[in-house]
Structure 1
């Protein structure tokens, strides 16, 4: 570790938690306002879903380059530049008068946010071994994981009383606070930088992509996250059709946040006795259990009540709390000497796949509980089989 000072470590953990959460906070805080936002911008619900998809695409694509740049120029410089872009783009989002301009600024906002995600993970790998890194993720991840669940609750109140523009102003203020804290308290952790050319990035990624051990963790992480963001992109409209108000919809994400935290506690407690691999499978089977329960609910009822969606998705959220921190830590630490690049690729695949799900599942198949149910079930089955077969090839 870079420092043994306890106060410096606490400051680092606070900044790490905040910058790891900023991307997902910005992605979801405006979700309860989407029905009113579509009316304000004179656009359709399916078109407005693109604001989430474009954001996730920007968050994904930029992570490839930001991870590589942080390996060359250092974590701190890249991070501060990213925060500045995030703040400016968030302010511009609040001033948007059309869906086209909002999409542009959402993409730029995502580029800035990706610096927090990538550099945060890379600083962990810079300073800790796999066991220590996993423990750090288990401390940080509950905060990160609940941010997309808590953000709609915050956004529901903000948009109800101050309008949809205030949700973007809120994340801009969050970015300003984080920029100031990072400038004064965050130290450089990449002490072994080597000058490289940008085209070298294309030599690093094939090595990672061809590694079955790496893929055995990354693919399930992508599928769990994809199911989660499919839910986030569709649930607001489904709850709105059921007749719930904006601030009431915000409360529906709280059980999911709690279950993510519980899942993380379960994973942390079992890891020392059962080992990483068995705990990872527990998370994957939790994912499948939620998908099967969702499927049963959809067959046996008209799905007219929020609890029929929230209960199975809460079980899926337990999987979220187990699979994501363990999968991400395991994947990045396979390539410890290329932690920036590995972190960027994990982020690209994880967020990129989520962006595809959020943008195109609704566009191609419509917004309905049946579409959501089938998506979650298929992804849960694929997550188990992909990890099992790729692990067999690795062994």
Structure 2
């Protein structure tokens, strides 16, 4: 500042001359180049547009899972199969997501987001065609398993891309919106699936998924750029001669063992919160999957179209929970509200609301067992959906901030555990319920969720105490 001031005082005529203007502009451009962040290369409008497309891509996995759930009764009749095998088609779908997500996470972190996702998307659409032409339940189950393996690349890439383009202070809200789309897809899926199955048969639901998938694929290819941070940094350096602020923080990606991210699940900074997400995810999926067959029988005896409508309150609750949880996650990081400097603080609001998952699960299970009025059943769904939606954004934003360079890998590890656990529980649910009935089944799930919340709360409380007592932290 002193040198500039001296020049202005001693060389007024030179500073004001037109010849000096290009030099000033060059200096200004050089300063801007030095301070440009990777999180600022997209405009706010572009980020919002990308977030909407990514949210719709994430929603596609739930849409594909849920759309034929109301059609399970007609699927069972048409393919002449059992309820157990019909539920198995959902289990293998989730199982496929869980096993493949680690491989996709590794590939996405190494090769980038764009072309890996494009390949997986095309293959996914082909498996939809296979489901439509399935002539028996076993052929159908095989194609559903392949669908799960391929749809997971879209799910992991979407969450990884959010970590690429959003600053940590904005990431909670972004994940909240992403999961609002993700969970909200259950509503149109249940409505469309119920109406199509009731009027045109279960095969028609896959025609609708094919059409939607093709539209989404075109949107992704045309609008979403490569966002892998290392590749973006190299592109700006080589093509635009701009060095981004994060250049020294991001290292070249390495091709690692795809199952190495499982080590994150044993990390004490990750494990407590993984089980919070897993337990809630299991409860929501069990409730959604077991709901149609249960309410299609007496004393409820609802048709497919009505069953789809009854899932509306659950969908609204989980969307609201995701948005609220994301906003609260970012809010606690603001200086005016910040209670602690620990990164885990953004998890706390969702953790408190996650208690609703246990309460809703207990209400739902005992309502089904004693055939209480359907309004009480829906109340239970609303509570566990709201709690699950609110708990997710804070945890995932924490993961991707803590492990930015391996965002896709840690997300895939989280997806593996929750999808694998859910697929196993759903596969065994029918047999377990025959022994202990719905009430105790959902009560056990509720207790598991509550224990996970308590353990996570203890870990966060301990870190909070250590952060406010440096002497104790040093001694430990």
**How many aligned positions are there?**
391
- Say if 1:81 and 1:112, in contact at 8 Å, map to a contact too: no
Could you tell me whether the CA contact under 8 Å between 2:132 and 2:206 is conserved in 1? yes
Q: 2:180 touches 2:322 (CA, 8 Å); kept in 1?
A: yes
Structure 2 CA distance, aligned partners of 1:304 and 1:36? 25
* Post-superposition offset of 1:384: 1.7
Please, which of 369, 373, 376 is the counterpart of residue 438 of structure 2?
A: 369
Gaps of at least 5 residues in structure 1 are none
Q: Give the direction of change, closer, same or farther, for the CA distance of 1:363–1:292 in structure 2 (3 Å limit).
A: closer
- Within 5 Å, give how 1:15-54 maps onto structure 2: 15-54=53-92
Task: Determine if contact 1:87/1:176 at 8 Å carries over to the other structure.
Answer: yes
Q: Which of 429, 448, 451 is equivalent to 1:379?
A: 448
> In structure 1, what is the Cα distance between the partners aligned to 2:167 and 2:113?
18
SS in 2 for 1:32: coil
Give 2:236's aligned residue: none
Find out whether 1:350 has 2:418 as its counterpart: yes
Q: Give, in angstroms, the shift of residue 21 of structure 1.
A: 0.8
In structure 2, the partner of 1:249 is 307
Query: Shift of the alpha carbon at 1:195?
Result: 6.0
Which is worse superposed, 52-61 or 286-295? 286-295
Report the counterpart of residue 265 of structure 2 in structure 1. 209
C-alpha separation between the residues in 2 aligned to 1:121 and 1:224? 19
Give the match for residue 245 of structure 2. none
Q: 2:274 aligns with which of 210, 218, 227?
A: 218
CA separation of 1:73/1:255 partners in 2, compared to 1, >3 Å: closer, same or farther?
A: same
Mean alpha-carbon deviation: is it higher for 373-382 or for 158-167?
A: 373-382
In the alignment, what sits opposite 1:106? 144
1:17-56 deviations in whole A, cap 9, x for unaligned? 1111111111110011101101111110111100000000
Name the stretch that deviates more: 322-331 or 237-246.
Answer: 322-331
Specify the SS of the correspondent of 1:212: coil
Q: Quickly say closer, same or farther: Cα 1:154–1:372, change in 2 above 3 A.
A: farther
Aligned position for 1:302: 370
Map 1:171-186; keep pairs closer than 5 Å: 171-186=209-224
The answer on 1:235 being equivalent to 2:273 is no
Alignment of 1:158 onto 2:212: no
Q: Determine if contact 2:173/2:323 at 8 Å carries over to the other structure.
A: no
2:109 and 2:253 in contact (8 A); partners too: no
**Which residue matches 1:335?**
403
Q: Does 1:259 align with 2:317?
A: yes
In the TM superposition, residue 95 of structure 1 has moved relative to its aligned partner by 0.8
**Structure-2 separation of matches of 1:7 and 1:262:** 23
**What is the rounded CA distance, in whole Å, between the counterparts of 1:249 and 1:15 in structure 2?**
29
Assess if the C-alpha contact under 8 Å between 1:328 and 1:346 holds in 2.
no
Is contact 1:86-1:172 (8 Å) kept? no
Q: Gapped runs of 5+ residues in structure 2? A: 1-38, 232-251, 338-344, 467-476
Conservation of the 8 A alpha-carbon contact between 1:229 and 1:357: no
More helix by share: 1
1:343-365 Cα deviation digits (max 9, x unpaired):
21111112222212221222333
1:168-212 CA distance string (max 9 Å, x none): 12111111111111111110011426464453x344432x12211
The structure having more radius of gyration, on CA atoms, is: 2
Mapped to 2, the partners of 1:73 and 1:288 lie a distance apart of 40
CA–CA separation in structure 1 for the residues paired with 2:288 and 2:405:
35
Residue pair 1:82, 1:112 contacting (<8 A) in 2 also: yes
Deviation at 1:11, TM superposition (A): 2.9
Q: Find the partner of 2:129 among 62, 87, 91.
A: 91
Instruction: Give the TM-score taking structure 2 as reference length.
Output: 0.77
Question: Structure 1 pair 129/216, CA: closer, same or farther in 2 (3 Å)?
Answer: farther
CA deviations 1:212-268 (Å, max 9, x no partner) are 121122110000000011112211111111211110000111011111133234434
Query: What is the alpha-carbon root mean square deviation over aligned residues?
Result: 2.3
CA gap of 1:181–1:251, structure 2 versus 1, over 3 A, is same
The 3-state SS of whatever aligns with 1:31 is coil
**1:66 and 2:104 are equivalent in the alignment:** yes
User: Hey, what's the Cα distance between the residues in 2 that align with 1:123 and 1:269?
Assistant: 19
Whether the aligned pair in 2 keeps the contact of 1:29 and 1:151 (CA below 8 Å) is yes
Contact 2:55 2:181 in 1 (8 A): yes
